[in-house]
Amino acid sequence: MGEVAALRQLVGQVQELWDLYGANAHPLPRQGEPTKASSPPLPLAPPPLVTPLSHLALSSASSPTPALRGSAGCGVYVPHGHRFWHCSTHRTRLFTQPHGVEPGKVLHPRWYLLDFEHGSIKDDYCGGRSGYNSELPKIMETNQSPLRKRPRRDRNREKAPSSNKTEVMQQEIWRDFPQDLFETVIARLPVPAIFRFRTVCRKWSSLLGSDSFSHQYSEAPRGLPWFYTITHENANNNVAMYDPSLKKWHHPSVPLTPTKIVIPVASVGGLVCLLDLSHRNFYICNPLMQSLKEIPPRSVQGWSRVAVGMVLNGSSSSDGYKVMWLGNDGTYEVYDSTKNMWSCPGTFPPGIKLPLALNFRSQPVAVGSTVYFMCAEPDGVLSYDVSTGIWRQFAIPLPLHLTDHTLAEFQGRVMLVGLLCKNAATCVCIWELQKMTLLWKEVDRMPNIWCLEFYGKHMKMTCLGNSGLLMLSLKAKRMNRLVTYNLLKREWQKVPDCMLPCSRKKQWIACGTAFDPVPCALA
C-alpha cells in the first residue's frame, strides 16, 4: 500500500508541473513526421526542470544535440536551455529543443547533478517499480564536474599532519629525565612489555639487575600470578608457563635444570623451588630470567617423600628466603639463603602424634612466615612458624563426600578446594577456614553447566596453583580440562590448550605451581 501511495504522489506532482507549463510547451515531432515551421515564439516562462510526462515516450534520436550521461546516473551533461529527462532503466536520453533557438546553434553547456540529500530513491520508477519513497530529487546547477568518492589514501593524507609540524624530541630535555621516575614507569609495565623494552639498549637491559629498580618493582601493584608447569612430554624441554592476563602459554627455549625430571613444589617472591625425584636435590630458579641455582642437598640420607614450603625473610627476595621440608616421620629442615645451609631449628613437639600422614597431593601454603600443611589422620591442618619455630596442629573435620582436596591461600586466609562427589554428580567447591569455629565454610562452587560434563565420570583433580588464582586440572578417561578460579573476583575461566610453537599437538599438564612474575628476583 505504501508503494502505491508513493506512486500516486509522484504522478500528482508531475501532473501539477504539466498543468503549470503544459500550455506553453511545444511537443517534439514524432519520428517520420515533417517538421512544421514554427511561429515566432511567445514570451515563455523558464523551462521546467522535469520534462512533461507526455515526452517520455519519445525517442532520443529526435534530439539534434546529444546529451551525455554522468557516472552512476547521478550527473548528466545537458546543453543550456534544453529540457531533459533521463531513465537509467530504459537507457533513454530525452530533451526538447529550447524555444527561440535556431537548430545547430551551440550554446554554453552546463552540468546538472541530482541532489539526493533530502530524499532517497530505492529504485527508479521508469521500470514500473514504485521504489520512490520521497519527494522528487532536486537538480542542482554547477559549473564543476560531478563529485566522486575520493580514495581513502587521499583522505588520510589530508588528515595527516605535515612533516614540518612534527615535534622533535629535544635531547637536552630528555637527557636529564630523572632515573627514578623512569624506573617507576617501567616497573608498572606488563611483564611482556618489560622484556621487549630490554632489547632497546644495554643500559635498559642492565636496569633490571639494579637495586633501585628492584625496590620500585616491589612497591608497584602486583598483577595475576603466572603458572610454572611440567608436561608429560619426554622432550628435552618439558616446561610451560601460562600467563592468565593474556591467556597465553610460553615455552622456554632452554631447559632450566640439567636433569629432565624435576617437580615444582613451592614458590615465593618470583622464585620457584624445584625438587628432583630423589627428593634430595633442590633448585631455585627465576622462570622469567632463566636463572638457576642449585642449593646444597638435604642432610637426611635415603629416599623419603617430603612436603616443601617457602617464605621470604623480608618484603622481597633481595632480603633472602627460607625453604622448609617436612617428612611423615616428623623430621624437618630449614634452608636459609643468606647462610646457604640447612639447619634443624629444634625437635618435633611430643604433643603431635606421629606419623603425620601428610597429604602430599596438597602443596603447603605460606601466610607471612607461617607454613600450613594438610594432614589426613586426623583431618586437619599443621602449621609451623619459621621465624619463631612454633608448631601448631588443628583438627578440622572435612566436608562430606570430599575428595582430592588441597589447601589454598588468599589475602592471609586459608582456603580449601576439592571435589564433591555424590552418586554420579561431581562438582568443584571452595571453602574458607573460620578461625573462630575451626570449620570450613563454603564460599563458592563451579557453575552447574560446567559440572554436567563430569556427570557419571570418575574425575581426578590436581591443584597447580594455590595463591590468589587457582589452576585446576580435571582429568577423566579421555578428558583433561584446565580451569582457573580467581578468588578475588570469584570468576571461573577455561584455560586454552597447551601446545608447542609451530605444532598442533596438545600437551598434557602433569604438575605445577603458581609464582609471581618478578623479573628482578635473584635466586
Of 227, 412, 210, nearest in space to 318 by CA: 210
> For residue 287, which phi and psi values (nearest 5 degrees)?
-60, -30
| 155 pLDDT tier (thresholds 50, 70, 90) | low
d(Cα 351, Cα 72) in Å, to the nearest integer?
A: 96
For the segment 278-295, what is each residue's pLDDT rounded down to a tens digit? Answer: 888 899 999 888 888 999
Cα dihedral 247, 213, 515, 408 sign: negative
For the segment 474-501, what is each residue's pLDDT rounded down to a tens digit? Answer: 998 888 889 999 999 999 999 998 887 7
Q: Give residue 149's pLDDT.
A: 63
Q: Give residue 419's pLDDT.
A: 94
d(Cα 64, Cα 102) in Å, to the nearest integer?
A: 11
> For residue 473, which phi and psi values (nearest 5 degrees)?
-105, 115
| 402 pLDDT tier (thresholds 50, 70, 90) | very high
3-state secondary structure 423-444: CCEEEEEEEEEECCCCEEEEEE
Query: In this predicted structure, which of 178-182, 189-193, 243-247 has the lowest mean pLDDT?
Result: 178-182
For the segment 10-33, what is each residue's pLDDT rounded down to a tens digit? Answer: 777 777 777 666 544 444 444 445
Mean local confidence (pLDDT), 341-346: 87
User: Mean of the per-residue pLDDT values for the chain?
Assistant: 75
Residue 383 scores a pLDDT above 90 = yes
Q: Would you say 374 and 406 are in contact if contact means Cβ atoms under 8 Å apart?
A: yes
Residue 167 scores a pLDDT above 60 = no
Mean local confidence (pLDDT), 348-367: 89
Residue 46 scores a pLDDT above 80 = no
Query: What's the CATH code, domain 226-515?
Result: 2.120.10.80
pTM over 0.75: no
Mean local confidence (pLDDT), 358-363: 91
For the segment 169-188, what is each residue's pLDDT rounded down to a tens digit? Answer: 677 777 777 878 888 888 88
Residue 432 scores a pLDDT above 90 = yes
For the segment 223-233, what is each residue's pLDDT rounded down to a tens digit? Answer: 889 999 988 76
Residues near 163 by Cβ (< 8 Å), separated by ≥ 6? none
Q: Give residue 490's pLDDT.
A: 92
Instruction: Read off the amino acid at residue 140.
Output: M
Residue 513 scores a pLDDT above 50 = yes
C-alpha cell at 261: 625430571
Query: In this predicted structure, which of 84-98, 388-402, 405-419 has the lowest mean pLDDT?
Result: 84-98
Of 436, 359, 425, 426, nearest in space to 398 by CA: 359
Of 416, 408, 420, nearest in space to 455 by CA: 420
Instruction: Please tell me which residue, 122 or 387, carries the higher pLDDT value.
Output: 387
CA neighbours closer than 13 Å in the CB half-sphere of residue 282: 30
Q: Give residue 234's pLDDT.
A: 58
Give the domain ranges of the chain.
Answer: 174-221, 226-515
Instruction: Please tell me which residue, 179 or 142, carries the higher pLDDT value.
Output: 179
Mean local confidence (pLDDT), 443-467: 90
Residues near 302 by Cβ (< 8 Å), separated by ≥ 6? none
Q: Give residue 71's pLDDT.
A: 39
Instruction: Read off the amino acid at residue 205.
Output: S
Of 321, 319, 315, 313, nearest in space to 293 by CA: 321
Mean local confidence (pLDDT), 503-520: 85
Q: Would you say 130 and 124 are in contact if contact means Cβ atoms under 8 Å apart?
A: no
Mean local confidence (pLDDT), 308-329: 90
Q: Would you say 481 and 451 are in contact if contact means Cβ atoms under 8 Å apart?
A: no
Mean local confidence (pLDDT), 111-120: 41
